[in-house]
């Protein structure tokens, strides 16, 4: 792994993923977890088992968003020469975004009769819910959570190995940190919103329900 995002999801991670792809990286994210059915691998990691990073990240040289962002210490130990990026966003706006997404994730509970959905629900219940409090988290709890995560990440990494980044910073800050020339194309600002999450989860359950 060459580049590892340690910022929480919903902090501009889709934009930076597209930017990394433009620079030639192949970035792992939650969609990759679904695509490769890595639910059990991350569940085992939450339970304290030794991660097989090379298997999880096979074919990827970058990682963005959750679930990997929760394991920045383990990833730093495994990839000490990687470059780490903490994307950030105003805590209040981040909390509002998360609160719009979680109801869609909660609806997965109704499809637990599908084995793959059950595996995903198990992962959410053991990794996401303990951190966010519930499928209907309080705004104050979310704000405290992202602020504490950001503080912990910044305290952990050497300054020269961590980029604190907002997508409004565009190409210049990102390319300077990674050692790339600034592309001539516009920075790929993307805001998928909660509609994207809803559609992704609907495709996920529909494809399995049709086979159940």
pLDDT-above-90 percentage for the chain: 69
Query: Which of 170, 14, 188, 39 has its CA nearest to residue 101?
Result: 14
> Where in the chain are the domains?
3-209
Q: What is the DSSP string of the chain?
A: --EEE-SPTTSSHHHHHHHHHHTT--EE-HHHHHHHT-HHHHHHHHTTPPP-HHHHTTT-SEE-STTGGGGHHHHHHH-TTSEEEEE---HHHHHHHHHHHHHHHHGGGGGTTSHHHHHHHHHIIIIIHHHH-SSS--HHHHHHHHHHHHHHHHHHS-GGGEEEE-GGGHHHHHHHHHT-PPPSSPP-----HHHHHHHHHHHHHHHHHTT-
Q: What is the pLDDT of residue 195?
A: 55
In angstroms, the CA 148 to CA 155 distance is 10
Tokens of 124: 């959410």
Higher-confidence position of 106 and 178: 178
Question: Looking at domain 3-209, what is its CATH homologous superfamily?
Answer: P-loop containing nucleotide triphosphate hydrolases (3.40.50.300)
Q: What is the pLDDT of residue 209?
A: 47
The per-residue pLDDT for range 106-136, each reduced to its tens digit, is 788 888 888 888 888 899 899 988 998 888 8
The per-residue pLDDT for range 32-89, each reduced to its tens digit, is 998 999 999 999 999 999 999 999 999 999 999 999 999 999 999 999 999 999 999 9
Tokens of 102: 């979680």
Q: What is the mean pLDDT of residues 157-180?
A: 97
Q: What is the pLDDT of residue 192?
A: 55
Higher-confidence position of 164 and 111: 164
The per-residue pLDDT for range 83-104, each reduced to its tens digit, is 999 999 999 999 999 998 888 7
Is 60 exceeded by the pLDDT of residue 207? no
pLDDT-above-70 percentage for the chain: 90
Q: What is the pLDDT of residue 203?
A: 63
In angstroms, the CA 210 to CA 212 distance is 6
Query: Which of 52, 39, 60 has its CA nearest to residue 126?
Result: 39
């Amino acid at each position: 792994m060459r580049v590892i995002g340690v910022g929480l999801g919903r902090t501009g991670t889709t934009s930076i993923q597209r930017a990394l792809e433009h620079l030639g990286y192949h970035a792992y994210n939650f969609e990759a977890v679904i695509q490769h059915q890595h639910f059990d691998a991350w569940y085992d990691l939450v339970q304290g088992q030794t991660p097989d990073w090379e298997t999880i990240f096979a074919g990827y040289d970058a990682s963005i968003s959750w679930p990997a962002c929760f394991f920045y210490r383990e990833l730093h130990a495994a990839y000490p020469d990687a470059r780490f990026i903490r994307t950030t966003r105003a805590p209040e706006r981040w909390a509002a975004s998360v609160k719009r997404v979680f109801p869609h994730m909660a609806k997965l509970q109704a499809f637990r009769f599908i084995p793959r959905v059950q595996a995903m629900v198990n992962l959410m219940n053991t990794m996401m819910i303990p951190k966010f409090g519930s499928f209907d988290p309080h705004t104050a709890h979310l704000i405290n959570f992202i602020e504490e995560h950001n503080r912990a990440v910044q305290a952990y990494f050497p300054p020269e190995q961590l980029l604190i980044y907002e997508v409004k910073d565009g190409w210049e800050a990102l390319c300077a940190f990674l050692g790339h020339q600034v592309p001539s194309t516009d920075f790929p600002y993307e805001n998928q919103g909660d509609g994207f999450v809803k559609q992704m989860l609907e495709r996920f359950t529909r494809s399995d329900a049709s086979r159940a």
